[in-house]
Amino acid sequence: MSINRDEALIKYLGSELPVRIGEVLSGDERTIIRDLAGLCMETLNKSCNALGIECSGDEASNAWRVIERVIELSGEFVLARYMAVVVGSEFIASRASPVIISMLSRDLLTCLEKVRVIVLKMVEMGKSWREAYGLGD
């Protein structure tokens, strides 16, 4: 699988997504976790073509395939844990205490930033994160 340069994705990751994240962070805790999860799903789905993944199913399945590919290319296994929060965000927002929601929202923010930086650099360079930074296999 190759990594393709995608100018629209580069613009989205480089300038549009940070603004949208800032807008989301102005909401209440339950809205923040839902909206961050939505941005994470959106970001992963927008990354399908650039990462050589056929995304034709539902949004959550597509996002999961993309996150697995990002993990494979970067070695950032913690992203799988964050993705579990994305998938469970509706449940968490409706049942968890504000303290838990706040903690998991910070995890989603970390996830979004990791995905944003990793995918952006890979798409700009046309190489896996591991290859670009000499991390081996």
Q: List b or e across 95-126, with b for residues whose CB sees 16 or more CB atoms inside 10 angstroms.
A: ebeeeebeebbebbbebbebbbebbbbbbbee
In a domain, 33, yes or no: yes
Which is nearest to 47 in space by CA: 95, 114, 132, 94? 114
In a domain, 131, yes or no: no
pLDDT of residue 137: 53
SS3 53: coil
Q: How many domains in the chain?
A: 1
Band (134; pLDDT cuts 50, 70, 90) = confident
pLDDT of residue 136: 61
Q: Which domain holds residue 73?
A: 7-122
What are the Cα distances from residue 10, in Å, to 14, 46, 88, 116, 129?
A: 6, 10, 28, 9, 15
In a domain, 52, yes or no: yes
In a domain, 65, yes or no: yes
Percent share of the chain, pLDDT over 90: 86
In a domain, 137, yes or no: no
pLDDT of residue 1: 59
Residue count (the chain) = 137
H helix intervals, the chain: 7-11, 17-24, 29-46, 59-74, 78-87, 89-95, 98-125, 129-132
pLDDT of residue 47: 97
How distant is the alpha carbon of residue 6 from its chain centre?
Answer: 16
- pLDDT, tens digit (0-9, with 9 covering 90-100), for 18-47: 999 999 999 899 999 999 999 999 999 999
Q: Which two tokens stand for residue 13?
A: 């990751």
pLDDT of residue 133: 81
- pLDDT, tens digit (0-9, with 9 covering 90-100), for 46-102: 999 999 999 888 999 999 999 999 999 999 999 999 999 999 999 999 999 999 999
pLDDT of residue 132: 80
